[in-house]
Amino acid sequence: MIKQQKVSLFLMLLFFLVMLSYVPTEASQYLDNKHILILNSYQPGFTWTDDQTQAILDTFQEDGYNYTISTEYLDWKRYPYSTTLEHAYQQLQYKYVNQEIDLIITTDDITFQFASLYRKDFLSDAPIVFSGINSEGIMEIDSSIDNYTGVMEVIEPVKTIELALMLNPDLKTLYLIYDNSESGLSTGKLCIDAAKVIAPNLNIISMNNMTAEEIIDTVKSTGPEATFLITTYSFDADGHYIEHEQFCEELGAVSQVPLYHLYDFGINKGIFGGYLTIGYLQGKQAAMLGLEILSGQEASSLPIITEGTNQYTFDYMLLEKYGFTINDLPEDSVLINEPFSFYKTYRSLVLSVLFVFFLLLLFTLILLFYIGKIRRLKNKLGENNEELSQLYEELTATEDEIRRQYGELSEAHQQLEEYSQKLFKLAHHDSLTGLFNRLYLYEEVQSDLNQQKEESAFYFIDLDNFKYINDALGHNTGDELLQVISLRLQKLCDQNNTLIRLGGDEFVFVVHQLKSREEAELFSKNILSLFVAPFRIQGNRLTLTASIGISMFPEHGRTVDTLLRNADMAMYKAKKSGKNGFLFFNGTIKDDILERINIERYFQKALNNGEFMIYYQPQVITQTGEVDGFEALIRWDSPELGFLSPYKFVTIAEETGFIISLGEWTLRNSCHFIKKLNTRLQKQYKISVNISVIQLFQENFVNMIHEVLSELDFPPHLLEIEITESVIMESVELISEKLRLVQALGVTIALDDFGTGYSSLAYLKNIPISTLKVDKLFIDDITDPDSEINLADTIIDLGHKMKLTIVAEGVETADQVAYLKKNGCDKIQGYFYSKPIPAGNLDQWISSLSI
C-alpha cells in the first residue's frame, strides 16, 4: 500500500516536471531586444550561406527571447573585388552607425576581416563570433584583434576518401575537383595529402586545370574503378565563375559512379555524399556561442569550437542508383531526400505525444486500479456491514441463548448440588435404615477423631441370633426388623453421638465427650434396654437381644479401624459370655480372639487326625437307678492347643460352619459306638446326640440322619437328638417342620437347657419333642431350703401333663436325686452318677455298676 502510493506520487511529480519543461522560463528580461548582426560574404540563395543564416535564426528563435537580428550579404563570392567591400562599407556604415549592435556573427573569412576592421567604426564595437574559417584562415587572423570567438570550418577529406574506398574497394583513381582560388588550392592540397596517407597506390588526378566541359566529359566517361571528390570549386581553369550547385547537378546527371563532396551545399543536386562540413551546424554552433556572449560571457574567454560541425550525409535518392543500401553506410549517417516518414519528421512530437499518452494511460490505469480498489472496498464494506448486522443479530440471539443457557446452567448447577448432596447421602447412608454407613464412619468420624482430644466410645452392637430369625422368617422380615431396631436405637441419638449401621445386624454408636467410664457403661445399658420390649413384625412377636463391645478413644486406638476391630472383639467376647450384655475391650480379649483364630485354623486338621473324641455321660432311670443311655459329649485333644472343652470350640465351629461335618462325625461315631456296645453287652442303651441349630438348618439334615441310621443299621428309637431350647424358640416354624420329619424316622427329640431361654411352656405345644432336659440352673436350687420358689417340680408336672419325659441335668448330690425321685423326674444325668466317660473307659464303668 505504501509502496504503491510512493510510485504514484513519483509519477505525478514526473508528469508535473514534464509539463513544466514546456512552459517558457521567466528568465531575466535583459536578453530581450538584443541586436545581432549576421554578416555573410556570399549572396542569398547560396546554400552554404543560407544554411548558416537559417541555423543562427533558428537557434535564437528557439531560445525564446525577442532578438533583433539583421542579416547582410556582401556578395563577395560573385564579385571578389575591393570595390565590393567599399560599397559594402558605405552601405552598412550608413545603415548601422546609429544602431546599437550587441553581437556580430560572420559566416566566413571575408566578413570576419570586414567586421573586425570596421566594428569600432560603426558596429558598436560588438563582440564577433565567426564561422566558416578553416585552419589556415585562423592562422592568418591578426593577433591585435580581440573580443571574438568562433566555430572553425573543419574539412575532413580523410574520412570521405576512406568512405569511398570502403564503398568501392576496387577504386583505382580518385579525381579531385577544386579551383585555383586560394581556398580551392588549399583544400585540394589537403585532399591530396590525405589520399596519399590513406591509399598510397591510389591514382590521384587534380582537375583544377580543366575546363568545366572537360570535367563533365571525364565524369561522363569514367567507369567503376574511379570516383570524384568535389571540394571548393567556383571558377574553372579559364577563370569563369561556375555556379557550384548547378555544376554539381550537371555532374550528377552524367556520372555512373558515386560523386563525393566535402561540403553539404554540394549534395541534393546529384552528388552522392561524404563526411561533410555542414553549414547549418556551423551556424548553430556560432549562434550558441553568441547566446553565451549575450548572457554575459566574455567572447575571448570562450574557446574556438572545432568539433560537432561535420557528419556523414548521403542522398537517399542515389543509394539505389549506385547499388547501395542504408546498411552499407556508416551508422551515424544522415540521409537527405528520404521519403516522408511521419515518425522521423515529427519524432520528438510523436515521442512527446506517446509519452503523454503513456502517462495518461498510466494515470488511467492507476485511476482504474484505485477505482477497482474503492469498488472492492465498497463491496467489502457492504459485505462487512451485512456480516456485521448478521453478527449483531446472531449476537443478540446468542445473548438470549446465553441467558437461557445460564438459566439452565444455574438450574443444572442447583441440580448438581442436590445430586451431589444426594450422592453424598447415598454414599454415606445405609439404604435400608437411613442411618450413616461404614463409609461415613471411616471418612467423617475419622476426620472428627483427628481433631479430637476428649475421650470417645465406640459401641459395637451385634444382634443376638438375628441370623436365625432372618433365615427362618425370610429376609423381608429381617429387613423390617432391622428398620424397627434402628428406629429404637435412634432414640439415643443426640448431637454428641453418631449411629451407624455397619451392615447385616451390626450397628455402631460413636459417643463423644464422655466424662467417665460410668457414663460409658450407662450408655451401654441404655442400648440394651431398648431390646427389652419385644418387636412386632408381620404378625410375629420377636424377642431379641444384642451384645455390645466397647472400645475407647484414644485408649484403645486412634483410628476408626483399630477402634472398630477392638470393639468388635469385645462384642464377640460379650456374646461368648452369654449374650445380651456389654464388655469393654481389654488385652485378654485380644488373647481370646487369637485363640479363637487358632481354633478355627486347626479344625479340619484335627478332624482328619482323629484329635476329636467322644465322652459318654450316662442317663439313669430315676426310679430304678438303671442306666437308660448316654449323652455323647465331644472333646478335642489338640497337640497345639491342649485339651479343649466344647464350650471353647463348639460356638466357633457353629460360626464357621465346621459344626456341620463335626456334628455328622459325632452322630455317626457315637451311634456306631453304642451299637457295638449294645451288641457286646446285649443291651438296649439309648444315645443322646447334641445337634447344633446350624446342622438343623441344613437342607439335607433329615436325610443325613436317615443315612447314618441306615448305614449303621441303627434302631432309630435308640437315638435321641438334643436341641437347645433357645434355638428352637427363635425359629419355631421351620424347625418344627424338620423335627417332625426326624420324629417320623423314629428318632426322639429332647429340648436341651430347658428354662434358660424362654421358659414358656406354651410354645412347647407346637414342637414335636418327647424329652425335656431341665437345666442344671434349676437343679442346683432344688434342695436349697432358702429358695422361695422351686420351679423344678412345676416343670416336671407340666412336662408330664404334656406327655414329655423329664431329664434332670447337672445332678450332683444324693439329696437332689432323692428330691427328683420324690417329684417323679424320669431320668437323671450328672456327676452324682458319673462325669462324661471316655469311650475306652465305658465298658469298665458299666461293669463296675453290676458289682
The amino acid sitting at 662 is L
Q: Is residue 830 close enough to count as binding ligand C2E by CB under 6 A?
A: yes
> In DSSP terms, which residues pair with 774 in a beta bridge?
754, 808
The interface region with ligand C2E, picked from 125-133, 534-542, 807-815, 842-850 by CB under 6 A, is 807-815
Q: Is residue 752 close enough to count as binding ligand C2E by CB under 6 A?
A: yes
Q: Is residue 646 close enough to count as binding ligand C2E by CB under 6 A?
A: yes
Nearer to Ca ion, 116 or 724 (CB): 724
Q: Which three cell numbers stand for residue 773?
A: 432336659
Looking at 810, 823, 826, 842, which residue binds ligand C2E (CB under 6 A)?
810
Nearer to ligand C2E, 340 or 647 (CB): 647
Nearer to ligand C2E, 449 or 774 (CB): 774
Q: Measured between alpha carbons, how far is 99 from 93 in angstroms, rounded to an integer? A: 10
DSSP conformational letter for 713: T
**Segment holding 510, helix H or strand E:** strand 506-511
Nearer to Ca ion, 473 or 650 (CB): 650
473: left (phi over 0), alpha (psi -120 to 50) or beta: alpha
Q: Measured between alpha carbons, how far is 492 from 639 in angstroms, rounded to an integer? A: 48
The interface region with ligand C2E, picked from 155-163, 557-565, 644-652, 799-807 by CB under 6 A, is 644-652
Q: Is residue 633 close enough to count as binding ligand C2E by CB under 6 A?
A: yes
Residue 503 CB, nearest approach to ligand C2E (Å): 28
Nearest of 219, 170, 174, 168 to residue 192 by alpha carbon: 174
Looking at 210, 262, 650, 750, which residue binds ligand C2E (CB under 6 A)?
650
Q: Measured between alpha carbons, how far is 310 from 151 in angstroms, rounded to an integer? A: 12
Q: Which three cell numbers stand for residue 538?
A: 408381620
Interaction partner, residue 632 (Ca ion, ligand C2E, none; CB < 5-8 Å by kind) = ligand C2E
Residue 722 CB, nearest approach to ligand C2E (Å): 6
Binding mask 660-699 for ligand C2E (x = CB under 6 A): ---x--x-----------------------x-x-------
The interface region with ligand C2E, picked from 147-155, 574-582, 806-814, 841-849 by CB under 6 A, is 806-814
Residue for grid cell 467376647 = 573
Residue for grid cell 444324693 = 814
Looking at 783, 812, 824, 845, which residue binds ligand C2E (CB under 6 A)?
812
**Segment holding 630, helix H or strand E:** strand 627-638
Nearer to ligand C2E, 435 or 633 (CB): 633
Interaction partner, residue 310 (Ca ion, ligand C2E, none; CB < 5-8 Å by kind) = none
Nearer to Ca ion, 36 or 662 (CB): 662
Q: Is residue 632 close enough to count as binding ligand C2E by CB under 6 A?
A: yes
Q: Measured between alpha carbons, how far is 274 from 312 in angstroms, rounded to an integer? A: 6
Q: Is residue 735 close enough to count as binding ligand C2E by CB under 6 A?
A: no
Looking at 645, 700, 710, 794, which residue binds ligand C2E (CB under 6 A)?
645
Q: Which three cell numbers stand for residue 464?
A: 443376638
Residue 769: partners with Cβ closer than 8 Å, 6 or more residues away: 739, 749, 750, 751, 804
Residue 573 CB, nearest approach to ligand C2E (Å): 19
Residue 849 CB, nearest approach to ligand C2E (Å): 17
Interaction partner, residue 666 (Ca ion, ligand C2E, none; CB < 5-8 Å by kind) = ligand C2E
Q: Measured between alpha carbons, how far is 491 from 488 in angstroms, rounded to an integer? A: 6
Q: Measured between alpha carbons, how far is 18 from 651 in angstroms, rounded to an integer? A: 128
Query: By rule CB under 6 A, what count of residues binds ligand C2E?
Result: 22
The interface region with ligand C2E, picked from 107-115, 232-240, 517-525, 803-811 by CB under 6 A, is 803-811
- What is the Cα Rg of the chain in Å? 80
The interface region with ligand C2E, picked from 11-19, 173-181, 188-196, 628-636 by CB under 6 A, is 628-636
Nearer to ligand C2E, 231 or 666 (CB): 666
Instruction: Report residue 65: phi and psi, to 5°.
Output: -105, 165
Site for ligand C2E in 703-722 (CB under 6 A): 722
CA dihedral 418, 422, 428, 433 (to 10 degrees): 140
Interaction partner, residue 617 (Ca ion, ligand C2E, none; CB < 5-8 Å by kind) = ligand C2E
Nearer to ligand C2E, 545 or 813 (CB): 813
Percent helix, percent strand, percent coil in the chain, to nearest 5: 50, 20, 30
Q: Is residue 836 close enough to count as binding ligand C2E by CB under 6 A?
A: yes
Q: Is residue 647 close enough to count as binding ligand C2E by CB under 6 A?
A: yes
For 373-407, give one letter per residue: b (16+ CB within 10 A) or e: eeeeeeeeeeeeeeeeeeeeeeeeeeeeeeeeeee
Q: Measured between alpha carbons, how far is 63 from 53 in angstroms, rounded to an integer? A: 16
> In DSSP terms, which residues pair with 635 in a beta bridge?
613
Nearer to Ca ion, 53 or 690 (CB): 690
Q: Which three cell numbers stand for residue 621?
A: 432311670
Give the SS3 label for residue 226.
strand
Interaction partner, residue 716 (ligand C2E, Ca ion, none; CB < 5-8 Å by kind) = none
Residue 844 CB, nearest approach to Ca ion (Å): 24
Cβ neighbours of 432 (radius 10 Å): 15
Q: Is 750 exposed, middle or buried, given 0-12, 13-18 or 19+ CB atoms closer than 10 A?
A: buried
Nearer to ligand C2E, 47 or 666 (CB): 666
C-alpha pair distances (Å), 367 with each of 11, 254, 354: 13, 64, 19
The interface region with ligand C2E, picked from 361-369, 451-459, 677-685, 809-817 by CB under 6 A, is 809-817
Instruction: Name the residues that contact Ca ion, by CB under 5 A.
Output: 690, 722, 752-753, 809
The interface region with ligand C2E, picked from 214-222, 740-748, 795-803, 829-837 by CB under 6 A, is 829-837
DSSP conformational letter for 386: H
Nearer to ligand C2E, 521 or 812 (CB): 812
Residue 443 CB, nearest approach to Ca ion (Å): 47
Interaction site with ligand C2E (CB under 6 A): 617, 632-634, 645-647, 650, 663, 666, 690, 692, 722, 752-753, 809-812, 830-831, 836
